[in-house]
Amino acid sequence: MDKFNFVKDGAIKLPPGFRFQPTDEEIVFQYLIRKTFSCPLPTSIIPEINICKHDPWDLLGDIEQDRYFFSNKEAKYRNGNRANRATIGGYWKPTGLDKQITCSKRKPILGMKKTLVFYKGKNTTHACRTDWIMHEYRLVLPKNSPSNFHGHINKSSQSCLVQVGNWVLCHIFLKKRNGKLCDEEIMHKDCEHVQIAKPTLYYDFMTEDLAASSCSSSLSNDDPSEVSSSPSSLVDQPT
């Protein structure tokens, strides 16, 4: 089935008009499960990359489009099961509960979808939350009966799940606000061509008119000969 390869120079290049928008079930049971068990993929459209070695804006592909990557899950500690979430300039922080993805034809294998948010900075107390979102998909097998698992999985239930293989599939994108991408990384691309507008100055013309009439009245009272209809008469003439 690997007849079409749309990955060029490590980035996805689809023909005009085509969009890669798989569902959660397709991601898990058409791509991730085939990758895990070394089966032919529907198409070679998802590149392999180590997510932890790149910040999200430095990853391959169009920064304004949804991007998908196969990545090997990297342990944070040598003798631990905790995944490494740190990158060059920040870290991915899990948020919310993991979502279970099932397929009646693939029992007892389950898919788990974890949502993560990217934070800039290494210090967790001063890190800045960004609009970068990652959905991480992994394959798991329940130690107990699969009928015990449905809907969202809480932390206590996750201890009864065993990951299958070491591959994960990562869907990375920028969160939209009011229908527009608002992350500063996109704005940075065109910042050199943007001219910063000067602050608008507001003048109180009524005050200036009153001051001018007051000044004119004062001059006429002192010496009427000094009042002239021409503004140039108020400028000192060279001697």
For 139-161, how does the pLDDT look when each residue is reduced to its tens digit (9 = 90+)? 999 876 544 445 445 555 566 88
As a whole number, the mean pLDDT across the chain is: 76
State the Cα angle at 167 between 10 and 103, rounded to 5°: 115
The tens digit of pLDDT for each residue in 12-41 reads 677 777 778 999 999 999 999 999 999 999
Q: What is the pTM of this model?
A: 0.66
Q: Alpha-carbon torsion 84, 44, 133, 9, what sign? A: positive
Question: Does pLDDT of 137 surpass 50?
Answer: yes
Q: Are 138 and 88 in contact (CB under 8 A)?
A: no
